[in-house]
Amino acid sequence: MTLRVLVVDDSAFARKVLRKVLSDAEGLEVVGTARDGLDALERVAELKPDVITLDLVMPSLDGAGFLRALSGMPDAPRVVVVSSAGADSDLAVAALQAGAVDLVHKPTALATDRLYELGAELVEKVRVAGRAVPRYANELEAARNAAPARLLPAVSTKLLAVGTSTGGPQALTRLLSALPRDFPAPVVLALHIPAGYTEAVAKRLDSQSALEVVEASDGLELVPGRAVLARAGYHLKVVRHGTLNLARLDRHPLGTPHHPSVDVLFQSVAEVWGKDALGLVLTGMGEDGLQGARALRAAGGVVLTEAESSCVVYGMPRAVAEAGLSNGSAPLDALVPLISRFV
């Protein structure tokens, strides 16, 4: 199936570049472009695209306003944000929390040929967005039909490790906002997102959660009531120093597809916490977390997965569940009660 794509950007040069890289990709058809949010709303009604690439800083109606307008539309197209880190970071994170499927980082805000560098990543993420489910639907019904947790004897989780990718900012917002202030275990989080955005993600999550949410720094203590988000570009590992449990930032191993890697985080958690660890794999593309889940289960820990019904992309949780490594699966809004059985 050919995906119909609408390119929205106030820069004529950016529209030209994005149109070119997407039109050259198999299975994608650019059906139109728009110069701002108001223009884009008209184009959506006229052209009925499957996916929109969205700039955020535009005149008349910016990206955030466009997303709000889009949210009221039945069968709304999926959105991939194309953004510059820095001044746009907060806007980009807000857009992801508001329902944008994914984010592509512009290598430059200038009208130069460097914009072509985003081509391969943009094409991949537009294709994934075309298969994504943009909203969480029928979760109450799905919760009744969720696979029950296979409760383990004598389990007392003392650390929660979470991994996610596509759709992750929305999922983390809902998960962390549901955890109580007195949640008795430290939380460590790995999210696939371009470098330059995780500080903004942590700040927004902190404002929306009873927990303290911070971007990881080397040597930061892991304590109950605190959630630590891996810094993009680095692996987050957990280490024990005497009686202290600390975050460690590390660029090694270098060969992983993602920095941070959910596998690397979970494997370090398995080594340090063993049977006292709970791993949670949320919505995301690919299989990152599969080997980490295997290590956690081998160490005696528990692994839970988000059910397909609430995933934007059912990739990472599917890989873990189909490998027989999930102790239980539930839609996102039913995961906190499930977690509470173990913590």
Q: Give the domain range for residue 40.
A: 3-131
241 belongs to the catalytic site = no
In 216-263 the beta strands, taken as DSSP E runs, fall at: 226-229, 235-241, 244-250
pLDDT computed for residue 227 by the predictor? 98
pLDDT computed for residue 135 by the predictor? 52
pLDDT computed for residue 88 by the predictor? 76
Same domain, 33 and 14: yes
Q: Which helix (H) or strand (E) segment is 67 a member of? A: helix 63-71
| CATH number of the domain where residue 12 is located | 3.40.50.2300
Query: Which of 10, 55, 192, 329 is labelled catalytic?
Result: 192
pLDDT computed for residue 136 by the predictor? 43
| CATH number of the domain where residue 190 is located | 3.40.50.180
Half-sphere exposure of 35 (CA within 13 A, CB side): 5
Same domain, 127 and 198: no
Give φ, ψ of 49 to 5 degrees. Answer: -70, 160
Residues 196, 292: Cα–Cα separation, whole Å = 25
CA angle 149, 154, 158 (to 5 degrees): 85
Same domain, 38 and 165: no
Domain boundary among 83, 112, 131: 131
252 belongs to the catalytic site = no
pLDDT computed for residue 134 by the predictor? 61
Tell me how many domains the chain contains: 2
Give φ, ψ of 328 to 5 degrees. Answer: -175, 150
165 belongs to the catalytic site = yes
Query: Which of 263, 288, 310, 329 is labelled catalytic?
Result: 288
Same domain, 176 and 34: no
Going by the DSSP 8-state scheme, the letter that residue 326 receives in this structure is -
pLDDT computed for residue 155 by the predictor? 57
Query: Which of 83, 84, 165, 209 is labelled catalytic?
Result: 165
Same domain, 80 and 187: no
Going by the DSSP 8-state scheme, the letter that residue 331 receives in this structure is -
Buried b (16+ CB within 10 A) or exposed e, 230-249: bbbebbbbbeeeeeebbbbb
98 CB contacts (<8 Å, ≥6 apart)? 64, 67, 68, 71
CA nearest neighbour of 100 among 260, 305, 312, 283 = 312
Q: What are 48's two structure tokens? A: 């009925």
pLDDT computed for residue 62 by the predictor? 84
Q: Residue-wise pLDDT tens for the chain (343 aa)?
A: 899 999 999 999 999 999 999 999 999 999 999 999 999 999 999 999 999 999 998 888 888 889 988 887 778 899 999 988 676 788 899 999 988 999 999 887 777 888 899 999 999 999 999 999 765 444 444 444 454 555 444 456 899 999 999 999 999 999 999 999 999 999 999 999 999 999 999 999 999 999 999 999 999 999 999 999 999 999 999 999 999 999 999 999 999 999 999 999 999 999 999 999 999 999 999 999 999 999 999 999 999 999 999 999 999 999 999 999 999 999 999 999 999 888 8
Domain boundary among 89, 108, 131: 131
pLDDT computed for residue 25 by the predictor? 96
Task: Give helix 89-97 / helix 198-208 axis angle, nearest 10°.
Answer: 50
Give φ, ψ of 26 to 5 degrees. Answer: -65, 135
